[in-house]
Amino acid sequence: MKFFVDSADVEAIAELNDLGMVDGVTTNPSLILKSGREIIEVTKEICSIVKGPVSAEVVALKAEQMIEEGRKLAEIADNIAIKVPLTWDGLKACKVLTGEGRMVNVTLCFSANQALLAAKAGATFISPFIGRLDDINLDGLDLIADIRTIYDNYGFETEILAASVRAVNHVSEAALIGADIVTAPPAVIRKMAEHPLTEKGLQGFLRDWEKTGQKIL
């Protein structure tokens, strides 16, 4: 499974990238706002750090303007993936932009039917939102499973990018189902390394080591 970092925090992205944990990055208007920086500037810096796809989102609502914004964002770097919403106009923009050889991430997917349309429109990535479905008492992971089955049934090459990840179990469950990619905040990725038994075992080892009176250095 590939890991994308869902953030516009350059320092956090760089730290994870140095550990080999970053295959790409996803951003959105809310993350750009949180960064407090100008979209072109911060996205360009992220692209200089990360070799994989960096999703930059359009904000227009009509296809023609989405296409114009997408082309502008694509000028930032060769690894830009243009992020468009899963609306009818977004699908139109996806078809045009992918036809021009650009990577397109179709976001805000909440149903298998939507995912099927995105694949037909040539999407590079489809972003089903796990956490937001969980918020309304639906199992977001069921959507990942449905999309995986449909894409495998018909040989669609669109990659499933599990998004709106809120907890570490979302990552492992999405991996078991067969999502190609998960995008998660830096805090969730770091949390994946934690386990109470690991901490308990480490403390036991350290107590016993102290009793030996030895040093390694």
113-136 tens-digit pLDDT: 999 999 999 999 999 999 999 999
- CA 31/CA 25 separation, integer angstroms: 11
Give residue 106's pLDDT band: very low, low, confident or very high (50, 70, 90): very high
**3-state secondary structure (DSSP) of residue 60:** coil
Q: What is the pLDDT of residue 211?
A: 96
Q: Pick 2-212's CATH classification: 3.30.428.10, 2.40.50.100, 3.20.20.70, 3.30.365.10.
A: 3.20.20.70
Strands (E), the chain: 2-6, 24-26, 54-57, 80-85, 103-109, 125-128, 159-162, 181-184
pLDDT tens, position by position, 156-206: 999 999 999 999 999 999 999 999 999 999 999 999 999 999 999 999 999
Which residues are 25's β-sheet partners? 5, 54
Q: What is the pTM of this model?
A: 0.95
The pLDDT tens digits for 7-44 are 999 999 999 999 999 999 999 999 999 999 999 999 99
State the chain's mean pLDDT as an integer. Answer: 97
Task: Report the SS3 class of residue 200.
Answer: helix
Packing angle, helices 112-120 and 140-154, rounded to 10 = 40
Name the residues annotated as catalytic.
Answer: 83
Whether the CB-CB separation of 212 and 191 falls below 8 Å is answered with: no
